[in-house]
Amino acid sequence: MEEIVVLIVGAGPSGLATSACLSVHSIPHIILEKEDIYASLWKKRAYDRLKLHLAKEFCSLPFKPHSPDSPTYIPKDMFVDYLDDYVKTFNIQPKYQRHVESASYDEADGKWRIEAKNVLTGGVEVYVAEFLVVASGENSGKYIPELPGLDSFSGETLHSSEYKSGAKYESKEVLVVGCGNSGMEIAYDLSNYGVQTAIVIRNPVHVVTKEIVRVGMIFSKYVPIFIVDIMAVLMSKILYGDLSKYGIRRPTKGPFYLKATAGRAPVIDVGTVAKIKSKEIKDFKHVLNETGMPKNDFPHHWKGEKNLYCCGLSRRGLFGVSMDASAIADDIKKVVTEKLNK
């Protein structure tokens, strides 16, 4: 059994950022990561053409801004290099291939008991921590629904996290299910390789550009969200016109409001809409469904009871990760300091 002040679950950007903030405060901690590497989503399960959808000023982790000469929208490989440098700078050393199986709070001594399976040895390790931070991320798991006939489908079926490039599907027919950012960009990439591509558009979505999002995020610091939404929707209408005839319908609520309250991000267009309009990408089907993600209790989402925290689940991307990590570390420092002064 190992005792520690803070235990962090997950070594993605959320866990790394929390670790760095705690290190700055000289608070002992460990990170348990189920994979064999940190930032596994970025290093193992990101498609080749991926770039950060937000401008770099909104995507830096605490205490380390992106370099001035880096592009505004950072490519995947450059962001991975940034994470590598971040880990070296703060000497972050996660314990890998640890699957956390349970976490329980002991009311008697006011501490968390965490059990994790060591995949390498097969044994179960027990940790006791005063503070527990859940930093497993919003996109850590994949989900493929059980569809009638899918088990007998003779073609290839894969999740977006397993997709790398459209090169291997050249001259084939591919159906992309889902019109979120991954689905729309994968459809665009497939089409660029001459793949006969169709996409299922199930829910109403806002379609915007990276520039519209950047302007909106800047303005949101100074004006109410509803004004930002009016601006964003107006710019989108001017740029794209009425997309309903192509199966793309706008939600009744604004894009920034939906992101803040329900975690539903707008689709950031990389050229997919033009291909849908030209019928290079076909709209396979659309079903209007206003049901979105559960609402999040912002801005107090990161702190639970009994020294339990979560980082990176605010549905605000890397910008939210930095906010969460700093807030968690500051709060833990406050609690630790108060105990020492008693």
- pLDDT at residue 111, rounded to an integer: 94
Decide which of 118, 134, 150 is a domain's last residue: 134
When divided into structural domains, the chain yields a total of 3
- Domain membership of residue 44 (yes or no) is yes
- Domain membership of residue 193 (yes or no) is yes
Q: Report how far residue 228's alpha carbon sits from residue 212's, in angstroms, rounded to the nearest whole number.
A: 10
The answer to whether residues 112 and 104 touch, using CB atoms and an 8 Å cutoff, is yes
Decide: pTM greater than 0.85: no
In this structure, the answer to whether residues 298 and 266 fall within a common structural domain is no
CA distances from 220 to 73, 213, 282, 298, 301 (A): 20, 10, 35, 15, 20
- Domain membership of residue 217 (yes or no) is yes
- pLDDT at residue 75, rounded to an integer: 94
Decide which of 256, 283, 310 is a domain's last residue: 283
DSSP-derived secondary structure for 55-68: -GGGSPBTTBPPPT
Strand partners, 134: 9, 310
- pLDDT at residue 145, rounded to an integer: 74
In this structure, the answer to whether residues 224 and 120 fall within a common structural domain is no
- pLDDT at residue 299, rounded to an integer: 63
- pLDDT at residue 290, rounded to an integer: 36
- Domain membership of residue 19 (yes or no) is yes
- pLDDT at residue 87, rounded to an integer: 98
- Domain membership of residue 151 (yes or no) is no
Q: Which domain holds residue 317?
A: 292-341
The answer to whether residues 52 and 78 touch, using CB atoms and an 8 Å cutoff, is no
- pLDDT at residue 284, rounded to an integer: 58
DSSP-derived secondary structure for 147-180: -TTGGG--S----GGG---GGGGTTSEEEEE--S
Token pair recorded at residue 48:
């080749």
In this structure, the answer to whether residues 117 and 25 fall within a common structural domain is yes
Cα-Cα-Cα-Cα torsion 327, 215, 12, 75, nearest 10 degrees, comes to: -150
In this structure, the answer to whether residues 275 and 302 fall within a common structural domain is no
In this structure, the answer to whether residues 165 and 217 fall within a common structural domain is yes
- Domain membership of residue 143 (yes or no) is no
Q: Residue-wise pLDDT tens for the chain (342 aa)? A: 789 999 999 999 999 999 999 999 999 999 999 999 999 999 998 888 898 988 999 999 999 999 999 999 999 999 999 999 999 999 999 999 999 999 999 999 999 999 999 999 999 999 999 999 999 876 666 777 777 788 888 889 989 888 999 999 988 999 998 888 999 999 999 999 999 999 988 788 999 999 999 999 999 999 999 999 999 999 999 999 999 888 888 999 999 999 988 888 899 999 999 999 999 998 754 332 333 332 334 666 677 767 878 787 776 778 888 888 998 899 999 988 988 887
In this structure, the answer to whether residues 210 and 258 fall within a common structural domain is yes
- Domain membership of residue 140 (yes or no) is no
- Domain membership of residue 74 (yes or no) is yes
The answer to whether residues 171 and 161 touch, using CB atoms and an 8 Å cutoff, is no
In this structure, the answer to whether residues 241 and 313 fall within a common structural domain is no
- pLDDT at residue 30, rounded to an integer: 97
In this structure, the answer to whether residues 200 and 77 fall within a common structural domain is no
Decide which of 242, 266, 283 is a domain's last residue: 283
The answer to whether residues 187 and 207 touch, using CB atoms and an 8 Å cutoff, is no
